[in-house]
Amino acid sequence: MRYATRVFKVNFAAMKQVLIQSTSGDQHPLKGRTVTLAFHKLHPCFAAEVSGLDLRQVHDQETLSLIRTGMDEHGVLVWRNQPFSNDEQLAFAERFDGTLHAKTSVAVLGKNRFGNEALTDISNVNESGQILAADDRRRMSTISNRLWHTDASFEDPAGRYSMLSARVVPPVNADTEFADMRAAYDALDADMKASLEGLRVHHSIAYSRQVLGFEFSQEEKDKLKGAVHPLVRTIPRSQRRSLYLASHAQQIMDWPVPEGRLLLRDLMEHATQPQFVYRHVWRQDDFVIWDNRATMHRARSFDDQKHRRELRRTTTLDLPLASAA
């Protein structure tokens, strides 16, 4: 049965039930069913694999709200067997969290090959499906994802939830790592926590790319001014405190640049220790949702001159929570 629950580890505390009542119409395949979502933890601090749903069919507020509650707790949710088309992925992201981020950094380098800037091309191929040459400038954005970051921290509003759909998975490991920035914050000592209060950080994508040796023209830099965000955030729904760091974090406002960069480096080192990191090994049609306010992530390297790897990302903007129940 297509919509039956598949629970691979029985963990009653983690199971949530929802009766699908309000749906988009009588024909809705989930109407009248009780859906059981099982959240199976993937790491001691955060990240869970969820079973029981085909997200393309999820339209009702009860289920969407349950998934948001799961995000509050776990920060990263992994779904298997979600064969999204581009349009279905865009539609789900909007249903789930409202306004999509469409001002991506790669837009300054050229047109999006899907004709929609809200669908970020996380791949190593061009519009005809051929692997990009090592010196192709379009590769800059993908390869820079190998630095720890949060999506769109160089914008205001920044990214809230990112959703990555695996369309072509190479036959070698080409994984993504996530770090729990709430657990990293909690592990700081009280003096350090006190010293971080009130600090603000300037985030710039031109900076993070320059760290790797990529240069932008003046015209490109003018379009990529960056944004300022607090170094420690309180996530509104969960009220958890979190370190808000990224490769884009360029300097601490009102501090001498070297001191600020040294503190940012120390915090990055602290926050990415193995006890805070979950490594995701991709399968075809995986769909991973993460909260950019609660986590950092990075792509791990693989031979991208040999193997195709194609994922598509949708990211929502961190606007006030109109839709979130």
Contacted by 313, from Fe ion, ligand AKG, none: CB < 5 to 8 Å by type: ligand AKG
Query: Does 162 contact ligand AKG by CB under 6 A?
Result: yes
Of 106, 163, 164, 235, which lies in the binding site for ligand AKG, with binding defined by CB under 6 A?
164
In eight-state DSSP terms, residue 226 is -
Using CA of residue 289, residue 189, residue 240, residue 105, what is the dihedral sign? Answer: negative
CA-closest candidate to residue 118, choices 140, 91, 139: 91
CA–CA separation, 11 vs 234, rounded Å?
A: 29
89 binds ligand AKG (CB under 6 A): no
Number of residues that bind ligand AKG (CB under 6 A): 10
Applying CB under 6 A, does 105 fall inside the site for ligand AKG? no
163 binds ligand AKG (CB under 6 A): no
- Residues 119-138 binding ligand AKG (CB under 6 A) are 122
CB 136, min distance to Fe ion, A: 19
Is the Cα torsion angle 234, 239, 240, 246 positive or negative in sign?
Answer: negative
Q: Does 165 bind ligand AKG (CB under 6 A)?
A: no
CA atoms of 119 and 112, how far apart (whole Å): 8
158 binds, among Fe ion, ligand AKG, none (CB under 5 to 8 A by kind): none
**Would you give the DSSP letter of residue 108?**
G
Position among 264, 294, 299, 317 found at the interface with ligand AKG (CB under 6 A):
299
Half-sphere exposure at residue 2, Cβ-oriented, CA atoms within 13 angstroms: 8
151 binds Fe ion (CB under 5 A): yes
Choice between 95 and 146, CB closer to Fe ion: 146
Listed in sequence order, the residues at least 6 apart from 96 whose beta carbon sits closer than 8 Å to its beta carbon are 64, 67, 68, 161, 163, 289, 316
Q: Which residues bind ligand AKG (CB under 6 A)?
A: 122, 145, 151, 162, 164, 176, 297, 299, 311, 313
